[in-house]
Amino acid sequence: MVKEIKKVDLGARILASESEEYQTGSWRKEIPVVKDKEEMNKHVEIALYCPEAAIVYVGGKYSHIDYKFCKGCGICANYLKKVIEMKRV
């Protein structure tokens, strides 16, 4: 939770949208770099594999990785070894 949140409901529950303020990008030690955008279009399901919902598709087409939230876990790169590469930051 972040200091910017001024109200929490019972049991520290918050609206799912409020968790957007908790940006996990600063946790990152490695950054996923997409090598092949065309290949990404064939693997829309990768959006669901990302625990931070940081891989953005628009209208079924790959758009970008939101680095404000990508925490560098490497799940995407492990799944699409030939398409995404993890680089040290």
Q: Which of 40, 62, 65, 80 binds ligand SF4 (CB under 6 A)?
A: 65
Q: Does residue 70 interact with ligand SF4 by CB under 6 A?
A: yes
Q: Does residue 40 interact with ligand SF4 by CB under 6 A?
A: no
Measured CA to CA, the distance from residue 23 to residue 25 in angstroms comes to 6
CB of 61 to ligand SF4, least distance (A): 17
| Cα 33 from chain centre | 12
| 5 versus 24: smaller Cβ distance to ligand SF4 | 24
Measured CA to CA, the distance from residue 4 to residue 64 in angstroms comes to 27
Measured CA to CA, the distance from residue 86 to residue 35 in angstroms comes to 10
Q: Does residue 47 interact with ligand SF4 by CB under 6 A?
A: no
Residue numbers at the binding site for ligand SF4 (CB under 6 A): 32, 50-52, 54-55, 65, 70-76
